Structure 1
Amino acid sequence: MLDHPLHPVFVHFTVALSFTAIGTYILAYLLPSTKLREELGIMSLWMIFFAFIASILTIITGFLQFGSVQHDMISHLAMVNHRNWAIGTGLVLFLCTIVAIRSYFKGKTHSSPLTIGLVILSTLLGITAYKGGNLVYNYGLGVKSNPALRELQKQSVQKPQHDNIFEMDSDGQKHKH
């Protein structure tokens, strides 16, 4: 595969387009009936479609990267959990896309099924994104480490670290170390 993982690249498009689509959908709903409301509504429907296209690439690259990232059993369980949430989120986005396309061709930008779908989508997307971020920031998955940083970490393991730079010596005095 490539030297750089593609999943983190595509996931940002999926998340950004989805949340922007939801935001413009809500904004269009709140505006009075004007040309701007109609245009924002149409924009949101198109963004849902493009978010779905990005999600296909995100899910494909996620599955490809799933097997290529070195990990232990605990992080594997977190990866499986993130993957399962991502599949569910992708399914809801797919359903929202079908409703959005149908609405577009009917000339109607807002509908109850799409509104409910987007509320569910925003919740699932937030949870899935959180779990993906957790894999990176808490488990360090998919992150390349810097050789200089690894050397520094090795050195810090070899010599004990002190939480407090001021310690009591045997004579009871505080001294800076």
Structure 2
Amino acid sequence: MFDFPLHPVFVHFTVALSFTAIGAYLISYILPVGKLKNDLGVSAVWMILFSFIATLFTVTFGFIQFNSVRHDMLVHLPMVSHRNWALGTAVVLFMCSLLALRGYIANKIHHYSLMISLLILGFMVGMTAFKGGHLVYGYGVGVKSTAELRDLQKSTSEEPKRDNLFEMNPINK
């Protein structure tokens, strides 16, 4: 559908905004009452909401790329695992967005239920990102077709290896 894969573009917004929101919220949660605590908490709420918006694009383009990237059965199971973690993470992020928005509207930004939810979200975003990174760097998904990559590896391993160009050459004796 798209010549350029957009999933890797949007996923960085989701990850960066989520972790920044979690960090900002945790710092604002432990700060003493004051303007900085309130401002940092409001900023964290907005980052959570923007992260959710980015996640909608990330998941959409993830599904498009899931169905368009050539892969074999060896890679299919890790892709399904990454997809399932991503969907669960999106649901938790949606819940965190609702909690944050509810607290913002009620003018009670800091509450323990949002803090616990954000800690769970941090674990889930990290696990999903790890699984996605493993697909790219471990299997070459999205970089080059895995079947082509294995054929290339097979063809290079069958060639004789020459570590030293001057090895037993009759001219060099």
Q: Assess same fold via TM > 0.5.
A: yes
- Which amino acid in 2 is paired with 1:122? G
Q: 1:173 maps to which residue?
A: none
In 1, Cα distance between equivalents of 2:153 and 2:86: 34
Identity of aligned residues (%): 57
In 1, Cα distance between equivalents of 2:155 and 2:88: 44
User: Which consecutive residues of structure 1, in runs of 5 or more, have no partner in the other structure?
Assistant: 146-151, 170-177
In 1, Cα distance between equivalents of 2:105 and 2:10: 28
- Report the number of matched residues: 161
In 2, Cα distance between equivalents of 1:54 and 1:90: 10
- Which amino acid in 1 is paired with 2:43? M
User: Which has a greater percent of helix?
Assistant: 2
In 2, Cα distance between equivalents of 1:87 and 1:33: 36
Alignment of 1:86-125 (within 5 A): 86-125=86-125
In 2, Cα distance between equivalents of 1:120 and 1:161: 50
In 1, Cα distance between equivalents of 2:16 and 2:131: 16
- Which amino acid in 1 is paired with 2:51? A
User: Which consecutive residues of structure 2, in runs of 5 or more, have no partner in the other structure?
Assistant: 146-151, 169-173
Q: 2:65 maps to which residue?
A: 65
In 2, Cα distance between equivalents of 1:133 and 1:3: 21
Offset at residue 92 of structure 1 (A)? 0.2
Give the secondary structure class of the aligned counterpart of 1:33: coil
Alignment of 1:76-95 (within 5 A): 76-95=76-95
Deviating beyond 2 angstroms after TM superposition, the runs of 4 or more aligned structure 1 residues are 152-162
Larger RCO: Structure 1 or Structure 2 (Cα < 8 Å, ≥ 6 residues apart)?
Answer: 2
In 2, Cα distance between equivalents of 1:161 and 1:8: 36
RMSD across aligned positions (CA): 2.3
